Structure 1
Amino acid sequence: MDYRSSEHAAATDVTPGGVHIPGPRAEDRMPETVTSAVKIVIVGGFGVGKTTMVGSVSEIRPLTTEETMTQAGIGVDDNYGSETKTATTVAMDFGRIRITDELVLYLFGTPGQERFWFLWNGLFEGALGAVVLIDTRRLEVSFDVIGRLEERGVPFVIANNAFPDGPRYPAEELRSALDLDPHVPIIECDARRRASSRDVLLTLMRYLHEMALHRA
């Protein structure tokens, strides 16, 4: 994935032995004014675009844990619609967005393969909510993901990552197919585009705000 690499060239430090060690860019450092942070998790099936979304919207160089896919995944990971995918997340992706001078939003992208779902227990600790990315070519890979969020009581929105060859369905058809409650927001997006990914996060923030008002 290209995360604006020309813009993300790292600064370097030089050790006494003359070895160049990449250092954090100025824009990657946490501002001293920040006093609090919130956490959002991006989930979904294998190959739906979670790493892409974190990379497109993060204001810092995203931390990814992608590894090259091997023959060992054949018959284990469902890569339908992602046949050209050569790497996959094996732990998590991480990004950051500054909301105000005092508040930052941390983004955690989870691996899509079921064999890595044991990592969810730690990733969801303290999370305000989640974005469920779906691919209309493979809606079935989202069923277990949504079920796990509902079991944990984690608020979420559905983001339909509109792949060029994916079928288009009205929101209410998607709601029925995914067996969602009427109040769960559904939004179409392009995870490659920063503005589109930002709109998904804003939809989640508005949804969480509405839930908080109803509880008050």
Structure 2
Amino acid sequence: MDSRISDAVVGPRIEDTLPASVTTAVKLVIVGGFGVGKTTLVGSVSEIRPLTTEETMTQAGVGVDDIAGVERKTETTVAMDFGRISLSDELVLYLFGTPGQQRFWFLWNGLFEGALGAVVLVDTRRLEDSFDVMGRLEERGVPFIVAINAFPDAPSYPLAEIREALDVPETVPMIDCDARSRNSSRDALLTLVRYLHALTTTTTTESW
């Protein structure tokens, strides 16, 4: 038997097993335009081996996918990314990264099902790609925060200017983020969780 085949059918690693202490699991989605770093963020912060669906970019995408600003990108997500991070012994976050190209956006509907919130990753070289992304979240009523991903060759602007350019309300958190950094990515997720908690608290108070 081919050893590669036998290796592929082994069970989950012990470190991938969900701890028995977990009582609450929350589904979050990582969204954004093409090449903004969604796969990188999920991979950097996941405590388990992340699931990715990256494929090599081919001539089929020429003239279809807008690669302006990310010309050196050679692979792209065609379905989703998946990872997991525990914020405490009881609370775990399941992360689903969406594909960025519009031709794969039909997959978003399924990924949004059951999601409590989203992190919108933004590349300052391609701000215009964020409008449709945030519009889809608003249409579905999915709360989100905005994280400006740090690219070495991307222009840097004050968050206030980016907020104005994207027409993001002051009530929506906006932060700087480095998707390559586990700590920075974790901080972005914590910002989203705190925002979701604040929304829940506000809604509960208003209902009284």
Q: In 2, Cα distance between the equivalents of 1:173 and 1:148?
A: 23
SS at 2:128's partner residue?
helix
Q: In 2, Cα distance between the equivalents of 1:63 and 1:19?
A: 19
Match of 1:104 among 92, 97, 100: 92
SS at 2:63's partner residue?
coil
Identical residues among aligned pairs (%) = 73
SS at 1:196's partner residue?
helix
SS at 1:76's partner residue?
coil
What's 1:118 paired with?
106
Q: In 2, Cα distance between the equivalents of 1:66 and 1:177?
A: 31
Q: Post-superposition shift, 1:205?
A: 1.0
What's 2:118 paired with?
130
SS at 2:155's partner residue?
coil
What's 1:182 paired with?
170
What's 1:146 paired with?
134
The answer to whether structure 1 residue 57 and structure 2 residue 45 are counterparts is yes
Q: In 1, Cα distance between the equivalents of 2:99 and 2:18?
A: 26
Q: Structure 1, residues 17-44: CA drift from partner, whole Å, max 9, x if none?
A: x944443221111223333311000000
SS at 1:75's partner residue?
coil
Q: Structure 1, residues 107-129: CA drift from partner, whole Å, max 9, x if none?
A: 00000001111111111111110
What's 1:168 paired with?
156
Q: In 1, Cα distance between the equivalents of 2:118 and 2:6?
A: 41
SS at 1:173's partner residue?
helix
What's 1:38 paired with?
26
Q: In 2, Cα distance between the equivalents of 1:202 and 1:100?
A: 12
SS at 2:69's partner residue?
coil
Q: Structure 1, residues 82-139: CA drift from partner, whole Å, max 9, x if none?
A: 2111110000000001223333110000000011111111111111100000000010
Q: Post-superposition shift, 1:181?
A: 1.1
Residues 210 and 19 of structure 1: is their aligned pair in 2 closer, same or farther, counting only changes over 3 Å?
closer
Return the structure number with greater helix share: 2
Matching residue's letter, 2:149: N
What's 1:6 paired with?
none
What's 2:65 paired with?
77
Q: Post-superposition shift, 1:193?
A: 0.5
Q: In 2, Cα distance between the equivalents of 1:86 and 1:19?
A: 30
Matching residue's letter, 1:180: V
Q: TM-score, normalised by structure 2?
A: 0.92
Where does the alignment leave 5 or more consecutive residues of structure 2 unmatched? none
Q: In 1, Cα distance between the equivalents of 2:60 and 2:39?
A: 21
Deviates more, 1:182-191 or 1:93-102: 93-102
What's 1:155 paired with?
143
Q: Post-superposition shift, 1:50?
A: 0.1
Q: Post-superposition shift, 1:57?
A: 0.3
Match of 1:191 among 179, 187, 194: 179
